[in-house]
Structure 1
Amino acid sequence: MVKVLLNGTVLADSDKTVIVEGNHYFPPETVNKDALSDSSTRTSCPWKGVASYYNATIGGKTEVNDVAWYYPETKEKANNIKGYVAFYKDKVTFE
């Protein structure tokens, strides 16, 4: 079981993460979407595709910008993480 926390708020919790390049990607249904808001940031990975980002927004206040990313559409080699959410290790606490 892997849990992601920010200031005591659980952002994600799952025993079915997929590890890619040392990052835990959480199935979308295991992510606390009430604590996240869409970011306008986008980046591109040559083998995964274009990533979208989330800000951590707790109690209506943005706590951390671009705390997590996901690939809404993936290239073929990354289909196993399509829609899955990964978090920056230096912005949250992992348990």
Structure 2
Amino acid sequence: MSDKPVREPSAEHPITVEPTGKHVTVRVNGEVIAETDNALTLQESTYPALQYIPLGDVVQSALSSSDTATYCPYKGDAGYFHVTTTAGDTVEDAIWTYAEPYPAVAAIAGHVAFYPDKADIAVTA
């Protein structure tokens, strides 16, 4: 039994997860790190919408696990990845993922999100 609070999305704090339905390209320091037509858009309350990319659509050789971990009472425990470009630049904790997200956001399992200040995320038709 965990002592962490678990909260369900509500009218006061809505969370939706929908297929993006568009092409998403993610660049780190100008290098394409992820590209997909299968992204999910997660909209949480008044926060900016986030693109969750299937892990399989991310350049695996660019990823290295981080020791960073955080907790969200709506989504669960998050793990992080560093991104290293082919030029050798490492951007620490550029990506987070919920390996076992809570049921309300179960669709984001197997997906990762990039920090908008650490990556360029483009959504195109």
The 8 Å contact of residues 33 and 58 in structure 2, kept in 1 or not, is answered as yes
User: C-alpha distance in 1, partners of 2:27/2:102?
Assistant: 29
TM-score relative to the length of structure 2? 0.70
From 1, 24, 35, give the equivalent of 1:2: 24
Give the deviation of 1:85 after TM superposition: 0.5
The 8 Å contact of residues 29 and 85 in structure 2, kept in 1 or not, is answered as no
**Cα-to-partner distance string for 1:1-41 (whole Å, 9 max, x where unaligned):** 11001123211111111111310000111111111110000
Which deviates the most, 65-74 or 50-59?
50-59
- Matched ranges for 1:1-95 at <5 A: 1-21=23-43, 22-59=49-86, 61=88, 63-95=90-122
Gaps of 5+ in 1: none
TM-score relative to the length of structure 1? 0.91
**Cα-to-partner distance string for 1:32-80 (whole Å, 9 max, x where unaligned):** 1111110000011111110000101234945111001001111111110
The 8 Å contact of residues 56 and 64 in structure 1, kept in 2 or not, is answered as yes
Q: Which has the higher strand share?
A: 1
In structure 1, the partner of 2:12 is none
Q: Match for 2:59: what amino acid?
A: N
Q: Match for 1:8: what amino acid?
A: G
**Runs of 4+ residues over 3 Å off in structure 1:** 59-62
Gaps of 5+ in 2: 1-22, 44-48
Aligned residues: 95
